Amino acid sequence: MSAGPSAAERRLLEVEAEPLAARLDAWLAVRLPELSRSRAAALIEAGRVLVNGKPARKSHRPEAGQVVEVEIPPVEPSEVRAEALPLVIVYEDSDLVVLDKPAGIVVHPAPGHASGTLVNALLFHVGGLSGIGGVRRPGIVHRLDKDTSGLMLVAKNDGAHRQLSVALKARAIRRRYLAAVWGHLREDDVVVEAPIGRAAGDRKRMAVTPGGRPARTRLHRLERWKAADLLRAELDTGRTHQIRVHLAWIGHPVVGDAVYGRGRESGMGGSAASWTRGLAQLVPRQFLHATELELAHPRTGERLHFESPLPADLAAAAGWARGDASS
């Protein structure tokens, strides 16, 4: 094993009697929670893991009495540039960050969005990033669309990222949204369960499709407006555009949704016609806000609960829809 940079961390682990023989990469991910399995595998393949002083394969199954030596190199700087963009941090500790994302900002850098993203802002504002996969970068546990605002969960290290991702898949993280939709639900509580996949002929859009992944959204009507409802939507799964796709599929697209609900308000006639046009003009983007987040802390197990009220643009539109005198 090479000496490596002086900042590299070395860990010595003695293998105890294991009830089930696990591969070396999986065993390391359990014994060293700060490492993901893929990160452990990368260290093994780079020759930074020795078993009884000799390089080992990731498929090796540790046996009782063996000594495993792990060299963890310093975290590499991210290729993404840190930028001093406005960011509202609701909560931060050594493992995670909860932030209140504004509408209009993309989460990850991508072609056409190399800068000005949420990740750029996080690299500037968040301290103590130990990195994900050996790179100093935040671990996005779940995303929000560009024009969706509200609470997002971010991990600051591999261990927290892995545990939070597992909790998300196990539906142990509760995510609730506020959404205004055109028309009225048939009843106050509706569960939409329909598979979601890429739309045929348009890979940028999602759709309810027989070959899609299972998806379930719970809806509860909070307010009934003249020609729209204000709903609380809770995700049981986390498919791309899930709330927007499910609501459009049941005939009640999100107000202001340019992809799945374009022009819906123009099809309403009668006494609701002018009202729908008025609401549409007041909503500058899709009326969808991540309002509530509840989870168990990945290290301590403490229950954490966060809430975010409607931002000013959506609050003003909701006030108008209710007929508030101040709106």
Active-site amino acid positions: 145
Q: What is the largest CA-CA distance in the chain?
A: 81
In the chain, count H helices and then E strands: 7, 16
Contact criterion met (CB below 8 Å) for 184 and 224: yes
Mapped onto helix, strand or coil, the DSSP state of residue 244 is: helix
Mapped onto helix, strand or coil, the DSSP state of residue 259 is: coil
How many CB atoms neighbour CB 178 within 10 A? 22
- Angle at the Cα of 143 (from 230 to 204), degrees rounded to 5? 90
User: Distance between CA atoms of 237 and 244, rounded to whole angstroms?
Assistant: 13
Contact criterion met (CB below 8 Å) for 139 and 132: yes
Q: Which helix (H) or strand (E) holds 113?
A: none
- CA distances (Å), origin 59, targets 38, 129, 290: 13, 30, 42
> Residues near 246 by Cβ (< 8 Å), separated by ≥ 6?
192, 194, 196, 208, 215, 217
User: Distance between CA atoms of 253 and 84, rounded to whole angstroms?
Assistant: 35
Mapped onto helix, strand or coil, the DSSP state of residue 186 is: coil
User: Distance between CA atoms of 287 and 279, rounded to whole angstroms?
Assistant: 11
Contact criterion met (CB below 8 Å) for 196 and 240: yes
- Angle at the Cα of 313 (from 307 to 318), degrees rounded to 5? 80
